Structure 1
Amino acid sequence: MHRVIIVEDEFIVRYGIRSMIDWEKIGLQLVGEAANGKEALELMNDGMPDILITDIKMPVMDGIALIAEVRSISPEIKIIILSNLEDFQYAKEAIKHGVSEYLIKSDMMPRDFEQALLKVKESLDAARKGQTAGASPAQTEPMHKEKFLNDLIEGSISQADEGGQQAEKLGMAQPHTAYLMHISLNAAEQGYTERQASIRHIVEQVWVEDQWRYEVFPDKQGEMNVLFTDPAPDSSLISLLVQQANECISQLSKTFKLTATIGISGRFREWTDMKEAYAQAVKAAKQKMFLGSGRVMLHGSVEMQTPGAQAEHFKISSHQIQSMVYAFQTRELMEYLQDVFGQLAARRDVELVHIVSLELLMTLTTLWPDVSNDAQQVLQLKKQYFDELSKLETLEQSRGWFIQAFEALMQHMNGMYHSDRNSIIKATQYIQQYYHQEISLQSISSLVHLSKNYFANLFKKEVGESFLEYLTRIRIEKAKSLLTGDLKAGDVGSLVGIQDPKYFSKVFKKITGVSPSEYRQLIREHD
């Protein structure tokens, strides 16, 4: 397994990189982290990594100096550099040293980062295979077959003649009937190597060589696939295949406690059709999101049919969710979430589920700091959220998880409510006493030790008007009292905290319906 070191001065970025990737699943081992180049070199005294992931701008020793030093020690090491978009010119210097991948931090999504790692891993694997060129044909044939099959599913071999020639060299006969099976495992304790070995073991038990022609191989994401071929025409391969795929699922569960979902492609006859077959099998397996895991999904079957394009564009409103949370509208929020997941179920779009889940998670993790003063607790909660969410397999699991998470947030807020109401009372008392001074939402919320957003929403709920509306009304009430005397209207505005005479006059008229001078005249007439 290839060793990886992360070098990044910001802890939250290091944590994000560490948690967004299932390292074992893709055949990598994270062996260390460092906050700068100097720490990284000290770490490498215990052994050089195969892959170095490093930021460019860092204190003590930056990424450019680190890369130059590492290159002199280990020319074959693979390097992925991270940078901000504005630092690209600076990053060009590092690129001269021969980096494998360059990623922009702000644009870095888990899938893109994983693809970059897999690309680098593929290069390392190819180099290692090249070093085993002196091995016997019996040892190298499985490697060549796996590479050939991966080239087919990736579309690297597009000509039928080329595919047929390579297959013939590997002793693989042109099939009359072929199917591709994609085996997707639920999140499990087993590591990358153990999971693959478990699948190979069960496949060999379930499918006997003299009954089936098959090839087992991992794709670039580390998930296992099985190619089944039948040299005879008019075969009933598919019915037997589904039957024994179910047996494979059963044996993986009994023997290794692994929950597998198997997607099976449509029938194909040409090697170059394997790319489409792989896409069909993967798409079928992904339908476990809506149909449940631990079963066989057959491409083209009735249950695999998804609804047509939805006319209405679907998106969630983070602002609406935040408003319901701050207004303590638990029932309305739960109904909204149920509706969101109901629409996702109707669309049966796996990618859309992932996007919406990420948006909901971001909303959830944005709200917690607003309602908790324990920064460490919030950080631990965020880590817990990311860990738990990564293990969810179906839409129903996601629905239940998000409803439970938002209910926990609302319960926390309800528990804080009574004590926080006292903070609002303190805020109104402060405004009534110091209305003539400069008071901002930020300053008043800090004064009562509440976050700005939470304070603003709680203030409106308790007082019935926004903080600014309340402050302005108090100032105008005080101004009305002062206008009974001989002070100029502009001076009255300054005394109540509104320094601009024109703005004071505008606000006064908006609230009372008359200008300051007209108000004074009315008061004197009534006297």
Structure 2
Amino acid sequence: MNLRLVVVDDEVLVRKGIVSSVDWQRYGIEVAGEATDGKSALELIRRTKPHIVLTDIRMPHMDGLDMIRRIREELPDTKIFILSVLDDFQTVREALRLGVIDYISKLSMTPEELLQVVLSVKGKITATEDVIATEYAVNRVNLKPGNVSEQLTGHPSEICCDCIDDGALYRIVKIKAEARITPEGHSVTWQKESVLERLTGVLDESQRLHTHVWYGEDNYFWMLVADGADNLIETILSWRLKLGPELLITVGISGLAQGRSDLDQATRQAQQAFGRSFYNGWDRAYAWDEHGESREDGIIDISKEVTDAYFTAMDADSVETADQVFHRMFPAQISKQLPQTVVRDEVYHWVSTVSLYVKERGGNLHSALQGVSPFDELSRLETYPDIREWCRRLHDVLKSMLPVLRNAHRREITKAIDYAKMNYMLPIRVKEIARWVHLSENYFSNVFTKETGKTFSHFLQEIRVEQAKRLLKEEEMDWIQIGEKVGFENPKYFTKVFKKLTGLTPKQFSRTRN
């Protein structure tokens, strides 16, 4: 199938570069249009309904964030990448909260890397549409396992539930079922109706007659279970043991509710109980607790102090120290008082710093991850244990990249040295030479000093002084002219540096040539 792509950026060279640098048609992708600002882009997107949008954030008329919010409301399945720079994380974080797949550096990503990222999303879109088609065919069948009432699609509090008597006692239960992955990487095929039959099979006859089921999104179920016995929670907690080892069953159970007026509250309680799976993981049952939990676990610490210690350990090839700092950043368990949005923001920030660390050292994180978007991957993970495990794997990937990144250092520093030797007479600035070798100024300065034992400015001064010494011996030129010829713009500064390195002024040195 052909996918439609829209490119939005107020810089014409960026837009044209994205459109023309890749033969999109060859890979089954149609460029449905271009736009220069959020307002005109939104009209284009409404008209063409693209699968993928590549957009800048800072644009006239309507900025990228406002446009993304509108797209999320009207076309929630559209995949969005933002074109940004890595030092604007506050804006990037807001975009990630809005469901953006990833952000792409406008300054450094090559056409090959851009294509790789887009193709990884194209594969997921194609697979998802195939699944939707299959699900539609299955769900058209009127499923009525056991004595359970007719299934509805939706959310309990959104459905008029006439089956609830005003005086009836019940609990709302949120369930997620998914196949367990075996050590060999295989999973068992299962169907919704078979799970429902097993779930309701553990209830007594009276409870089954008063149990109602709603299908949610993906593999979620909602159940309204009549509570005519004190042991209902224990019965529900035993589900996982009765469903067989091939399925992971996660359950959130509301408090006791009565009548229609409690439906919304019971639904929220089931949601809150289920939400504890974010901190503790799947395949467990969680009952709502009106008093909450007082247990204090660790917190995620992605402060500058800690990340600096982490990357310092990486640079020093101290893997053991880097591992220790990683566990400080991502403890095995975290406090339930820490909101999920805060946890995800901290993780996104850490991944951004890792991406910048790799980029500054001449590497590319997307390539190392084989085109997989880290933020897309993280957005799909629903529990902290899974997120932490993914970050641990990224930590291992970074460690495996260190030898290559260190070799890249030497290549870039050698390149800078060769440039300085050939162009010492020009007004070279550290910022310019760092940009020329595609490194940040601070990182270039640190690495150059580490590799050569001196700053770049001092190294450049030595080259210029050596050339000045040669000219003072060989040429019948005034020392001021020689200073200008080797790159010193100020005679006083030339004299100061020359005397510091040789012990003589240029004029004194010139007298020794005979």
- TM-score normalized with structure 1 length: 0.59
For residues 306-325 of structure 1, the C-alpha deviation after alignment (integer angstroms, 9 at most, x for no partner) is 54998x99645666655554
Rounded Cα–Cα distance in structure 1 between residues aligned with 2:445 and 2:435: 12
Map 1:168-179; keep pairs closer than 5 Å. 170-175=162-167, 177-179=169-171
* TM-aligned CA distance change 1:392 to 1:428, over 3 Å: same
Query: Contact 1:368/1:378 (CA < 8 Å) preserved in 2?
Result: no
Q: CA deviation at 1:373?
A: 6.4
Q: Does 1:226 align with 2:218?
A: no
* Gap regions ≥5 residues in structure 1: 14-31, 38-54, 71-76, 115-127, 133-140, 153-165
SS at structure 2 position matched to 1:183:
strand
Q: Do the aligned partners of residues 243 and 459 (structure 1) sit closer, same or farther apart at CA in structure 2, a change above 3 Å counting?
A: same
Matches within 5 A, 1:492-511: 493-499=483-489, 501=490, 505=492
Which residue in the other structure is 2:331 paired with? Answer: 342
* Cα shift readout 1:172-220 (whole Å, capped 9, x = no counterpart): 21245332222234687999x9765454333232334523533222446
Name the structure where helix makes up a greater proportion of residues. Answer: 1
For 1:215, the equivalent position in structure 2 comes to 212
The answer for the alignment partner of 2:157 in structure 1 is 150
- Name the structure 1 match of 2:114: none
Note closer, same or farther for the CA distance 1:397–1:465 as it changes in structure 2 (3 Å cut).
Answer: farther
Counterpart in the other structure of 2:413: 424
> What is the SS of the residue equivalent to 2:258?
coil
Deviation (angstroms), 1:348? 5.5
Q: Distance in 2 between matches of 1:422 and 1:148?
A: 58
Q: Distance in 1 between matches of 2:326 and 2:301?
A: 17
Match of 2:353 in 1: 363
Structure 2 gaps, min length 5: 9-13, 16-27, 83-90, 101-135, 141-148
The counterpart of 1:181, out of the listed 173, 179, 184, is 173
Give the direction of change, closer, same or farther, for the CA distance of 1:305–1:464 in structure 2 (3 Å limit).
Answer: same
Structure 1 position 496, deviation (Å): 3.3
Cα shift at 1:56: 5.0
For 1:112, the aligned partner's letter is L
Residues 67/206 of structure 1: CA separation in 2 closer, same or farther (3 Å cut): same
Paired residues for 1:40-189 under 5 Å? 56=35, 64=43, 86=59, 88=61, 101=74, 109=95, 112-113=98-99, 149-151=156-158, 167=161, 170-175=162-167, 177-185=169-177
Out of 282, 301, 304, the residue aligned to residue 293 of structure 1 is 282
1:366 to partner: Cα distance: 3.6
Letter in 1 for 2:234: Q
Partner secondary structure for residue 247 of structure 2? coil
**Paired position in structure 2 for 1:244:** 235
Separation in structure 2 between the aligned mates of residue 267 and residue 489 of structure 1, nearest angstrom: 94
Measure how far apart 1:339 and its partner are.
Answer: 0.7
Amino acid at match of 1:149: P
CA contact (8 A) 1:178 1:229 kept: yes
Distance 2:220 2:197 in 1: 15
Q: For 2:271 and 2:452, how far apart are their aligned partners in 1?
A: 55
Question: Which amino acid in 1 is paired with 2:157?
Answer: N
CA RMSD of aligned residues (A): 5.7
- CA change 1:385–1:304 in 2 (3 A) is same
- Residue pair 2:361, 2:409 contacting (<8 A) in 1 also: no
The offset of 1:433, in angstroms, is: 5.2
What's the CA shift string for 1:61-113, capped at 9, x where partnerless?
Answer: 98757856x7xxxxxx999999656354699xx9xxx9963899757746534
**1:435 paired to 2:392:** no
8 Å contact from structure 1 (residues 177, 269) kept in 2:
yes
Provide the rounded CA distance (Å) in 1 between the counterparts of 2:168 and 2:202.
22
Whether the 8 Å contact between 1:327 and 1:457 is mirrored in structure 2 is no
Contact 2:252 2:286 in 1 (8 A): yes
The verdict on how the C-alpha distance between 1:426 and 1:63 changes in structure 2, with shifts beyond 3 A counting, is closer
Number of aligned residues: 420
Q: 1:354 aligns with which of 334, 344, 349?
A: 344
Q: Do the aligned partners of 2:472 and 2:482 also contact (CA within 8 Å) in 1?
A: yes
Distance 1:184 1:79, change over 3 A: same
Deviation for aligned residue 1:438? 4.1
- Residue 434 of structure 1: how far off its partner (Å): 3.7
Q: Which amino acid aligns with 2:169?
A: T
Deviations 1:450-484 (A, max 9, x none): 75576554323212344345334554676688899
Question: CA contact under 8 A between 1:184 and 1:223: conserved in structure 2?
Answer: yes
Counterpart of 2:271, as a letter, is: V
What is the rounded CA distance, in whole Å, between the counterparts of 2:3 and 2:480 in structure 1? Answer: 66
Establish whether residue 467 from structure 1 lines up as the match of residue 456 from structure 2: yes
For the residue of structure 1 that corresponds to 2:331, the secondary structure is helix
Report the CA distance shift for 1:263/1:438 in structure 2 as closer, same or farther (over 3 A). same
Confirm or deny: 8 A CA contact 1:181 1:264 kept in the other structure. yes
Bigger shift: residues 322-331 or 355-364: 322-331
Decide whether the 8 Å contact of 1:261 with 1:295 is kept in 2. yes
Identity %: 18
Give 1:338 deviation, angstroms.
Answer: 1.2
